[in-house]
């Protein structure tokens, strides 16, 4: 396996995790947008340092002669480690018709509601999915949906201090990743997938409203990772 034929995900997700003697990295095949999570098990004899702050790998290969050794170049510093075996999980992110996945989307929306992670969130019904544009994350091993993003385009009618009149806007309605697939960069790749398509279509703004309870985490994702700008907030306090 030649990992350096793939492109690493953004800096925050180059290393997915490094704990319990298991190192997991995330790479992406730019030809088909497939994301690969490669886990090296029972990692030992690490030579060099893995910089978990920068979380960046620029090159990686696995010895094909049966020697279970992997070598990384991390910030121009060589890192070698031995391991017992490795496994690969592959996720494909792409656009598809929302009607093909209606039942699965509603089922995942029900999971979201039961998590109680967003204030006042209720699972979707069929009518909520009408006229929406869909990006999905598919586990290529199981062919199951593990994440989705949907929203719709519109043109502003009234100018504001933020968005000029007659601007082409995409309102991101929902983005969700199943629990077992979180912190792997899937949400990031779904966001970037729709962003790239919208740029080519002349859309100039992506907007969204969030009611997630963990505001620190959601602000980190949208503002620090996705490069969005804070617009306004509506708060409440129960007395």
pLDDT of residue 162 exceeding 60, the answer is yes
On the 0-12 / 13-18 / 19+ scale of CB atoms within 10 A, 108 is: buried
pLDDT for position 183: 77
pLDDT for position 204: 94
Instruction: Give the pLDDT mean for 25-52.
Output: 71
pLDDT of residue 82 exceeding 70, the answer is yes
pLDDT band at 135 (very low <50, low <70, confident <90, very high): very high
Instruction: Give the pLDDT mean for 52-60.
Output: 53
In order of their start, the domains of the chain are 3-89 (no CATH), 97-225 (3.40.630.30)
Answer with the residue of higher pLDDT: 28 or 46.
Answer: 28
Answer with the residue of higher pLDDT: 147 or 233.
Answer: 147
pLDDT of residue 5 exceeding 60, the answer is no
């Amino acid at each position: 396996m030649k990992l350096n034929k793939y492109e690493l995900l953004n800096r925050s997700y180059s290393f997915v995790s490094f704990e319990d003697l298991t190192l997991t990295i995330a790479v992406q095949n730019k030809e088909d947008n497939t994301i690969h999570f490669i886990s090296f098990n029972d990692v030992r004899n690490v030579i060099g340092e893995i910089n978990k702050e920068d979380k960046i790998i620029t090159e990686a290969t696995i010895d094909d002669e049966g020697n279970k050794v992997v070598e990384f170049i991390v910030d121009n510093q060589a890192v070698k480690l031995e391991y017992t075996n490795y496994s690969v999980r592959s996720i494909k992110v792409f656009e598809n018709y929302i009607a093909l996945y209606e039942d699965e989307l509603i089922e995942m929306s029900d999971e979201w509601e039961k998590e109680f992670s967003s204030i006042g969130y209720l699972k979707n019904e069929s009518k909520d999915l009408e006229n929406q544009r869909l990006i999905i994350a598919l586990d290529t091993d199981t062919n199951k949906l593990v994440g989705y993003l949907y929203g719709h385009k519109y043109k502003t009618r009234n100018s504001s201090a933020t968005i000029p009149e007659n601007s082409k806007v995409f309102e991101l309605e929902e983005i969700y990743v199943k629990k077992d697939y979180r912190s792997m960069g899937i949400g990031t790749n779904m966001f970037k997938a729709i962003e790239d398509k919208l740029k080519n279509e002349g859309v100039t703004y992506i907007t969204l409203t969030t009611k997630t309870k963990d505001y620190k985490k959601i602000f980190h994702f949208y503002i620090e990772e996705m490069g969005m700008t804070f617009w306004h907030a509506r708060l409440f306090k129960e007395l």
